[in-house]
Structure 1
């Protein structure tokens, strides 16, 4: 079972579930929790091997990491808490997990807010993944992680995001990092399916204007998917909830309330 935290609202019946990305933890939502608790019941998750969620160390009982098994982890938590339906907010790789959950269990998803969404790996991203696959077992994972973080978030105003994710990534074991990295390196077929299929669930993409690796593909998806909207955040890169939290909170809460 994943580690998670619940904040109950005395009057609201609506739930908002936050899903972080690879190498992060529920702590990356520290600039969202106070504001969202004013309006909704809130569920914060630590994905397996991240934050305070421990990895399964015995290989015999540890199924291969797939997007379906990680998605089932999330479903297990919302089932345990008796949450029939939730709005989901994700960042980076967390958006893929949310989209996968919506594909498999659309009746459990009220809406999706996708921050720094990953919908396609461009050529540069694919080259990075291949380099990581080659060197993941010989180079300390923190060196690889910092390198990838700099490529994805290169500007001076992205520094806080890079440092936050690097500090969280230090809590991972090397073996755990390799498992997650292998998962992300097998992502292309799933993303191709997501781009092709309009899931018809209200979706808000919150993308930084400086998120040059992932913004172009999201713009194309929004143009093709009927219930999708795009809000581009000025002066922000990939991790919009950290770099522009006031805008992220305002637009996200307004989107959820209109559903």
Structure 2
């Protein structure tokens, strides 16, 4: 079972489940928890091998198991089942957005709506070169060097430093074998993203992207032009991880959206 933390507002409020990216942990949402608690019950999850779920990687069954987006997604669904959460809104960042898409494919009725921050919807030439470099040198170069390289390429500007530093700091807590198991997931990314690009989620979805997210914003803009249930908000002067760089604006945009999708929050809640 994954490590998780709950913040309960009341029994009638909707749940919001936060999904971090590869190499990170639920600590990346520390600027969101207090704001979200005012309107929702909150569930923070550490994915397998990450954060306080590191102990899972020492269990024989998990050590031998090949990681796929389905297995990682089912981990999250098991946490919801244990806590008797039948449906929830999901907020994800970076690779966490792919996991939300996967959850919606496995069990669409669980996802009331989704907020995708720094969404990964396609790997362009630069992304594929990074992945190739990673696979080529992953066994001979310390994985943290690779992770630092990825972080600098994805978040290169000075104002991205906090996000970059946080990603690298969390990644240092990963064991090498865990990094390699997660890195193998990149083999599944392109075919999965191609499928997702051609098929819109049945669930209302808000993409929140930074104007400086040079690798991932262009394909999101192109993709949602053909979608009916998806919206895009671009935060100016922001990079890949908007929830860290512009937390107040991210919180306002995302909470307003989720309130509109919520069955248990009055539409005038924010105004009050």
If the length of structure 1 is used for normalisation, what is the TM-score? 0.98
> Does the 8 Å contact 1:12/1:40 carry over to 2?
no
> Does the 8 Å contact 2:57/2:178 carry over to 1?
no
Equivalences for 1:96-115 in 2 at 5 Å? 96-115=98-117
SS in 2 for 1:53: helix
Structure 1 unaligned spans of 5+: none
Aligned position for 1:38: 38
In 2, the alpha carbon distance for the partners of 1:36 and 1:199 equals 24
Residue deviations 1:99-157 (CA, integer Å, cap 9, x gap): 11011111000001000000000011001100100000110011110010000000000
Residue deviations 1:41-63 (CA, integer Å, cap 9, x gap): 00000000000002333555531
TM-superposed deviation, 1:11: 5.8
Equivalent pairs, count: 259
In 2, the alpha carbon distance for the partners of 1:51 and 1:140 equals 20
Aligned position for 1:51: 51
Aligned position for 1:250: 252
Equivalences for 1:19-168 in 2 at 5 Å? 19-54=19-54, 55-59=56-60, 61=62, 62-168=64-170
> Does the 8 Å contact 1:113/1:205 carry over to 2?
yes
Q: Is 1:209 equivalent to 2:211 in the alignment?
A: yes
Equivalences for 1:161-180 in 2 at 5 Å? 161-180=163-182
TM-superposed deviation, 1:185: 3.4
Residue deviations 1:74-102 (CA, integer Å, cap 9, x gap): 00000000000000000000000001101
TM-superposed deviation, 1:251: 0.5
TM-superposed deviation, 1:235: 1.1
In 1, the alpha carbon distance for the partners of 2:151 and 2:115 equals 22
> Does the 8 Å contact 1:88/1:112 carry over to 2?
yes
How well do the aligned residues superpose, as a CA RMSD in angstroms? Answer: 1.1
In 1, the alpha carbon distance for the partners of 2:213 and 2:41 equals 30
In 2, the alpha carbon distance for the partners of 1:198 and 1:96 equals 13
> Does the 8 Å contact 2:89/2:111 carry over to 1?
yes
> Does the 8 Å contact 2:108/2:202 carry over to 1?
no
> Does the 8 Å contact 2:211/2:234 carry over to 1?
yes
> Does the 8 Å contact 2:207/2:232 carry over to 1?
yes
TM-superposed deviation, 1:236: 0.6
SS in 2 for 1:249: helix
Structure 2 unaligned spans of 5+: 262-272
SS in 2 for 1:210: coil
Q: Which moved more, 1:168-177 or 1:58-67?
A: 58-67
Q: Which moved more, 1:53-62 or 1:27-36?
A: 53-62
